[in-house]
Structure 1
Amino acid sequence: MKNIQVIDGAVNSTFDVYEVDDNLFDTLFPNDQDIAFLSDFPDIDNNPTFWSQLYSNKVNKKSIVGIHGTLHLTGSYVEEENFPNRKESDARRR
């Protein structure tokens, strides 16, 4: 199981963390990636099964041991071009 933090553009966002199984995690974050954008996956935006799986196990941020990936939804203020390899360690800094 892996922890994913979800970032959206809501003014009241709490940047929730969800525990997902390895299969779902590997779908969103292949090849050791740890940053993903919803726009990378046009087929899942309207897939209720995906959203049900993602949001089924919200975890208390105070009790987790690490965040393994960050998923940016529509409205996130993070610019995709700053993460060309979809790895936090390769982020373009200004």
Structure 2
Amino acid sequence: MKNIQVFDGASNAVYDIFSATDDEFALIFPTGEDVAFIDEVYERQDAGALNSAFERIWARRVPKKEAMGIHGLLFYELDEKKKFYPTRRDEEAQNPDGTHLR
């Protein structure tokens, strides 16, 4: 199982962590990527398969204090963050001018 932290643009978002099987994780994150934006996920995959996978994933919330790592970041309604993740890899996050964030 892999943990996904969800970042939502809603003002009352709490950035929960959910557990996904390897197959579910692969539907959301292409090989080598660990950052995803929901609109791009639905552009790449079948909506029916994704809806089924998300229904299962949402049933597996992991309390933050119990999470053993975060394997992926999933953004909702935060398109302004795309410019910081051009490679869709968290460790390669950068400013719009190309300088590293870390």
- TM (normalized to structure 1)? 0.84
- Ranked by relative contact order (alpha carbons within 8 Å, sequence separation 6 or more), the top structure is 1
1:59 to 59, 62, 87: 62
**Bigger Rg over Cα:** 2
Distance 1:27 1:41 in 2: 8
Identity value in percent = 33
Distance 1:80 1:8 in 2: 14
By percentage of residues, which structure has more helix?
2
1:81–1:93 distance in 2 versus 1, CA, 3 Å: closer
The 5 A counterparts of 1:5-20 are: 5-20=5-20
Provide the residue aligned with 1:71 in structure 2: 74
Distance 1:80 1:44 in 2: 22
In the alignment of these two chains, the number of paired residues is: 93
1:34–1:68 Cα contact (<8 Å) kept: yes
Superposed CA offset, 1:39-68 (max 9, x none): 1122439x5313312201001110111000
Q: What is the aligned-residue RMSD (CA, Å)?
A: 2.1
Distance 1:51 1:25 in 2: 10
Provide the residue aligned with 1:2 in structure 2: 2
Unaligned runs of 5+ in 1: none
Superposed CA offset, 1:32-91 (max 9, x none): 21100001122439x531331220100111011100000001x22642122111001111
Unaligned runs of 5+ in 2: 97-102
